[in-house]
Structure 1
Amino acid sequence: MTQIPGHEPYTAVTELDESKVDDVDFHELPDDHELDQVTFEVLRNRLQQINEEQGTTLKQVSGSPIVTDAYDFNVTIGDERGDTVSLGPYVMYHASVTDLIIKWIIERRADNPGIEPGDMYICNDPWIGAVHQNDAVVLAPVFHEGELFSWVSSTVHQVDVGGNEIGSFAIEDDDAFAEAEPVPPTKLVEDGELRTDIEDIFLRKSRAPAMVGMDLRAQIAGNNVAIDRIHELIDDYGADTVKAVMKETMDYAETSLRNRLRELPDGVWRHVDYQEVANADDRGVHRTEVALEKDGDTLRFHVDGDPAAGMINTTYAGMRGGLVAPVLPMLCHDLPWALGGIFRAIEFEAESNIVVNAEFPAGTGMAAIAGTWHTVNLSNQCVAKLLAASDEYSEDLVAGSSGSWVTMNAMGIDQRGDQFVTQFMDPMSGGWGARSHSDGINTAGIFAAPGGITANVESNELAFPMLYMYRKEMADSGGPGEHRGGVTASMCWLPHDTDAPMQHVISAFGAAAPTSHGVSGGHPSNSVRYELVRDSNAADLLESGEIPADVGEIDGDRDIVSPKAKFVQEADDIYYSIWQGGGGYGDPIDRDPERVAADVRAGYVSEEEARRTYGVVLSDGDVDVAATTDRREEIRADRLAASPWGESDD
């Protein structure tokens, strides 16, 4: 692509080119500064507490259910060059990319328009560092005595930032020109004042400008709290001591991770997975493969796959964020998540312009819950396989969890007569994968967002014109195994107190086949599904005093909807969706039959599934020992009689 003279390509900056930053006066730590261990521990935790207060402020100021109810955001504190020292417990890949944006700002904005105290930049450009255009990042430098001391940032999934479709998910298009406009780092706040011209440009594109404007102010407020607290810390302990703690925290994270890696076996672990339906007209599947190499004290991710397609792609930033997300809870669960140090022990290699390392102008509108999420799944499996090869660390593995996000963007007229635009966040209640020693956690949330929560049913009904028939945990949604994957939930609802039809744009993957995979013989979870019951009798059932406990109890014309689609929901149409549970661990026929019976009684496993997959036969709710022995022998015999993979029985 031809470049404008004097302008460089919009690409992620992974390593700062110091020759380009002569105009930046960094605060540098003196070589002879000494830091005692007690002060290190006190201030390391103080920085984490500041990070937590930053996130709490954002939640309290925001009016968006995406933030206030589901915690689809994250916050970071970095050093003077943007290397991350601390991040929140929310969506991890939101926080795994901000260092790229900061380095870009330092290289490209220091001269014009400049980086000054009281400034903040906004960016949602996936090729620079945002995961996708909805994930708006607000970044602020922190100065001390005229020197650039550190950075803070906040990332929020904005409900709608423009483009062809509701929620900015352009499911019928193939490139970025149909999507919301990517905004490279632009000065949103100058000398402590919000630049209304820049805000107007950003809000003018949105179908929900008031909500987006409130979230921008929440991000600014969170950043301001973090800046104030860092200044207070400097006043109490001195700038050099605070900076020494930042540097030592990253060094400690690197050293600890490298020490752990040395205790794990060397080798290469691979996984291949697929996304289906790159846009609404596509019926293909799109392959990505990851090879995780553990060599001494270093991890290397090698990524290859099919060419970029439709709007399911992610850029280098999203790929890197997705790959590192499972590393944190499985390999660094007891370490500071100081990515500036952790990234030193991890290398990333990827073929160009594939689905998970797309080049401009590939479509990335769905990246966070498509290409990036897909990369999380692949990394999850590779890291779990690595840990499964270690007697000492196998207990830390987690099988595939919440293998895809069921996106539900909606727009209409609410019960107050006002327009609403939202994304329903109920799929935060996905199931976590099993472990080598225990079942997965039911409806635990999103593995890549350990601090996330599901939206409250009553909050949704208060905010939007909807009435839930139910939201419930689903039988047979946890992957079978010696240890069962956590079950997931589904939602079923009817429009309420509005006569206006609702417009919907939906997008997911994992409908053709589940993507929450098992480990060491464990089976995958369920797959996702969208379903409408047109002209239903739900209102009549409610009028008669009956509350349906399952969508199958509601009469009407059933419509199974494609995983990339848009449609209109009328007043009597039921909307049903189910998302994924967790994968299992170990062979299902090695599961204790009494535990299977307990799962049946609890509603987590059906009696049919107990017999078919676990080989457990029940009689009046109790295990039939003889029949179970026979059934499990039958399963083993069927396996031994099967043809090898790739060979026909003919």
Structure 2
Amino acid sequence: MSKPESELHDPETTTRDREFNDVEPPIGWDGQTLQEMLNESEHLLEETGHYRGLDELELKEQDPFQYEQMYSRLRGALVSARETALHVSASPIVREIGELCFQIYTPEGDSVAVSTGIIVHVHTGSLAIKYMIEEDYEHGRGIQPGDVFCNNDNDLGNVHTTDVHTFVPIFYEDELVAWADGVTHEIDIGGMTRGHDQIASTNRHEDGLYATCEKIGEDDKLYQDWRDRGQRGVRTPMYWDLDEKCRLAGCHMIREAIHEMIDEVGVETFKQFLYEAVEEGREIMESRVKERMFPGTYREAGFHPIQWEDKAWQPGAQQNMMNHLPVEMTIDGDGEMELDLEGATPPGPHPFNCAKGSMEGALWVYLTQSLLHDGKVNDGANYAVDTNYPEGSVVNPQDPERSYHTPWATIFSTYLAVSKCLSNGFFSRGFREEVITGYGEPGDALQGGGKLKDSVADAIPDALGDYWPVGPFDFSCQGLGASACRDGLDYGYAMFNPEADLGDVEEWEQTQWGLLQLSRRVKPNTAGHGKYRGGSGWEGLHTIMGSEDVSMYAFSIPTVTWSAAGMSGGYPGGTSYSVRVHDTDLAERAAADEPYPLDDQPVGSLEEQIEGEEVIRDQDGMFFPEEFENHDLLRYQTSGGPGWGDPLERPPAKLKEDIEEDIFTPDIVEQVYGVVGEYDADDRDFTVDEEATKQRRKEIREERAERTQSFEEFFEAERERVEESDWNDGVQYMYEGVFEQSDQWAEEFREFWNLDDAYSP
């Protein structure tokens, strides 16, 4: 693979020239090594319950204006670095959607402040820094002014393989005073298939390029061998190169801002500020929990189905699996929170294994949107929550051989359960507006790539070679779940990055030249039903043009079951499905100015609007990479959020709006909500028949009463199923794994169902 000849490839363009002098270890504060600082910090926290033993915030109390000014200035520097550096990058994921983030850490590796963006990394970078400290990079590999380090190893501190961190140590005189970290989501990381959230990987060796806390440069310049490795290790070398410059440029901007701050306030004041900011973050978390949550124990469970018996490529993955993701949240009267996932299934032959650091990072993503949205977000919150991600489970495998390429499937399903635990706590306190039933489960609608035909590539002057990747982040707009007093947000939310949006169609098409988007449309009946409905999802339709050697796939949840169930009688959002049509007559239709499909509404109509040799309609929206030819069609959808409350309590006037805005169709409204009327599709006008609606709702309530059974009847029927293991292969896989993984959970299961001690599924 040839190297880009653009001046953008020159790492010297990311920073101004500086002179660096080596510093002899120890490089910590006051003559300490970094390991000594880390040991002391951990000891003081365990002994006192306060970060660094700070039971008082002296700087904040004595000079609150300076303290708040320093925090605002530091966070402003991080946001400024993000907003400036993203324009250094040409990766559309970074530039258009903002899939990047910058953090500042103490010398020991504790996060002090974080920019906007993919805030899941507020804690993941901390783990990588602490790994380098514990492995004594200070004396071995060396940590010097101007050094550059890189990590995307999930087992050491990251979310998934395509998140790549750049770390820059910040020295003042002869001491390491802080670390800067920039992370971007790459459009490609190599690996066994194209795409940035692969589903075919079953072990680490198929995941792609890994950097395991490597030193990749010194004197603010990247090593040539590292640059060559990146260029040869990914399918999109130009985007890799530019994203790396984005991260490095932002870290250098942060370093400059910190030097200026220290010059003004003094290094001792800066040091004190760093520690106090983390302790304040811990105190804020405790105060928010005490203020907004009701003490008690909350339990919910998430599930992630993996129906791969007939789909997976690798023999070991050709089975139906179900990941069990139970959550127990305990809140005490002092504002302390415990999060326990005892009973999670073991890791498996799939890319959905999730490192502990990924789970912890995701926790802060969700807490910042529920409890900490008006507080300081840093590792202080981490220290305020006791967590148990069981070792050897899918949420903490402790096994570097596993594939961690796409842990988001596990994260999304787990934190839907966390969301419901928090919402029950809010509701118990009377904070109805804070309740969120969950969210549409984001999955990458389409991924893959292909090559432009020579004639097409020559006609596009700005084309980036002949290979084009597929990784649009328009899937970041899913439906948000309803609250206890309002409907969810339609097609405008992503748990992993609440600032994200659809982005411009033109932006994606300038990247994925051979994949044209025919339409984006609201997908009716994806929103979860309820008195307050969930937000709606949407569907899109693509076709291939002017290309060859094209392979595409979809990572999609929910599939055959939900983890985003509603609350208080609300329904989950709809499951996903996919449609692919091969060898079509689209070109002939376009030439003859004949209509062609733009959606699959009503469901099942897409193939009726196009001629194709092969139509694949799959009730599981996730499909493995397959080949596509020009004019083939790919249809996909995003997820809707769950609802809250009994659908029969939803006002008919609201349902009139829902029908006219394509949220629901009239037949579903009558079936679920009992609202009857006439719909004029041409004028998009629905007229409610009030008398017929009253009668239909009465009938539904009567039908419910006829189907109702007592708890005792339900329990006995289900107990018989449990005794006989009367369930499908995926559920059998789940129970076998949980019983093997956790004796504690197995014992509790037997006790609940009144089973003998010898029972096993």
Give me the TM-score of the superposition, normalised by structure 1.
0.91
Q: Compared with structure 1, are the counterparts of its residues 191 and 103 closer, same or farther at alpha carbon in structure 2 (3 Å cutoff)?
A: same
Shift of 1:33: 5.7
Alignment of 1:356-435 (within 5 A): 356-391=395-430, 393-414=431-452, 415-416=456-457, 418-435=466-483
Match of 1:558 among 615, 618, 621: 615
The structure having more radius of gyration, on CA atoms, is: 2
Query: How far apart, CA to CA, are the structure 2 residues paired with 1:619 and 1:32?
Result: 68
Q: Alignment length, in residue pairs?
A: 630
Per-residue CA deviations over 1:124-153 (Å, capped at 9, x if unaligned) read: 111101112211111111111221111111
Per-residue CA deviations over 1:48-71 (Å, capped at 9, x if unaligned) read: 211111211232111111111222
Per-residue CA deviations over 1:90-119 (Å, capped at 9, x if unaligned) read: 223233311111111222211121111111
> Is this contact kept in 2: 1:616–1:628, CA < 8 A?
yes
The yes-or-no answer on 1:607 pairing with 2:607 is no
Is the partner of 2:83 in helix, strand or coil? Answer: helix
Shift of 1:407: 5.0
Identity of aligned residues (%): 24
> Is this contact kept in 1: 2:120–2:361, CA < 8 A?
yes
1:251 aligned partner = 279
Query: How far apart, CA to CA, are the structure 2 residues paired with 1:515 and 1:31?
Result: 42
Query: How far apart, CA to CA, are the structure 2 residues paired with 1:495 and 1:465?
Result: 6
Shift of 1:492: 0.4
Which piece of structure 1 moves more, 213-222 or 621-630?
621-630
Is the partner of 1:546 in helix, strand or coil? Answer: coil
Per-residue CA deviations over 1:354-386 (Å, capped at 9, x if unaligned) read: 222223145334334322333332322222222
Shift of 1:429: 1.4
> Is this contact kept in 1: 2:530–2:570, CA < 8 A?
yes
2:579 aligned partner = 531
Q: Aligned partner of 1:402: which letter?
A: G
The yes-or-no answer on 1:595 pairing with 2:654 is yes
Shift of 1:547: 5.6
1:298 aligned partner = 336
The yes-or-no answer on 1:318 pairing with 2:355 is no
Query: How far apart, CA to CA, are the structure 2 residues paired with 1:545 and 1:95?
Result: 52
Match of 2:111 among 65, 84, 89: 84
Per-residue CA deviations over 1:241-277 (Å, capped at 9, x if unaligned) read: 3334333333333222212222321111112122122
The yes-or-no answer on 1:455 pairing with 2:476 is no
Give me the TM-score of the superposition, normalised by structure 2.
0.78
- Give unpaired runs (5+ residues) of structure 2: 1-31, 42-51, 313-317, 459-465, 680-685, 721-761
1:38 aligned partner = 65
1:11 aligned partner = none
The yes-or-no answer on 1:486 pairing with 2:514 is no
1:521 aligned partner = 569
2:325 aligned partner = 288
Query: How far apart, CA to CA, are the structure 2 residues paired with 1:459 and 1:535?
Result: 27
Match of 2:704 among 639, 645, 648: 639
> Is this contact kept in 2: 1:90–1:451, CA < 8 A?
yes
The yes-or-no answer on 1:509 pairing with 2:557 is yes
Query: How far apart, CA to CA, are the structure 1 residues paired with 2:623 and 2:118?
Result: 23
Query: How far apart, CA to CA, are the structure 1 residues paired with 2:209 and 2:597?
Result: 43
Per-residue CA deviations over 1:324-357 (Å, capped at 9, x if unaligned) read: 32211111121122x2211121111122222222
Is the partner of 1:128 in helix, strand or coil? Answer: helix
Is the partner of 1:228 in helix, strand or coil? Answer: helix
Query: How far apart, CA to CA, are the structure 2 residues paired with 1:510 and 1:473?
Result: 18
Shift of 1:647: 6.0
The yes-or-no answer on 1:143 pairing with 2:171 is yes
Query: How far apart, CA to CA, are the structure 2 residues paired with 1:361 and 1:75?
Result: 26
Q: Compared with structure 1, are the counterparts of its residues 25 and 349 closer, same or farther at alpha carbon in structure 2 (3 Å cutoff)?
A: closer
Which piece of structure 1 moves more, 128-137 or 458-467?
458-467
The yes-or-no answer on 1:577 pairing with 2:654 is no
Is the partner of 2:171 in helix, strand or coil? Answer: strand
Q: Compared with structure 1, are the counterparts of its residues 19 and 302 closer, same or farther at alpha carbon in structure 2 (3 Å cutoff)?
A: farther
Q: Aligned partner of 1:522: which letter?
A: G
Per-residue CA deviations over 1:470-504 (Å, capped at 9, x if unaligned) read: 012211111111111111122101112x1414112
Q: Aligned partner of 1:627: which letter?
A: A
Is the partner of 1:276 in helix, strand or coil? Answer: strand
The yes-or-no answer on 1:624 pairing with 2:689 is yes
Q: Compared with structure 1, are the counterparts of its residues 122 and 85 closer, same or farther at alpha carbon in structure 2 (3 Å cutoff)?
A: same
Per-residue CA deviations over 1:11-57 (Å, capped at 9, x if unaligned) read: xxxxxxx9872599999999976751112222221112111112112
Per-residue CA deviations over 1:421-466 (Å, capped at 9, x if unaligned) read: 2322221111111112211111113023112222321112222222
> Is this contact kept in 2: 1:65–1:455, CA < 8 A?
no
Q: Aligned partner of 2:616: which letter?
A: D
Match of 2:301 among 272, 276, 295: 272
Query: How far apart, CA to CA, are the structure 1 residues paired with 2:76 and 2:525?
Result: 40
1:238 aligned partner = 266
Query: How far apart, CA to CA, are the structure 2 residues paired with 1:517 and 1:245?
Result: 43
Query: How far apart, CA to CA, are the structure 1 residues paired with 2:445 and 2:517?
Result: 18
Q: Aligned partner of 1:188: which letter?
A: I
- Give unpaired runs (5+ residues) of structure 1: 1-17
> Is this contact kept in 2: 1:76–1:87, CA < 8 A?
yes
> Is this contact kept in 2: 1:482–1:590, CA < 8 A?
yes
Query: How far apart, CA to CA, are the structure 2 residues paired with 1:228 and 1:211?
Result: 26
Query: How far apart, CA to CA, are the structure 2 residues paired with 1:257 and 1:499?
Result: 52
> Is this contact kept in 2: 1:154–1:223, CA < 8 A?
yes
2:740 aligned partner = none
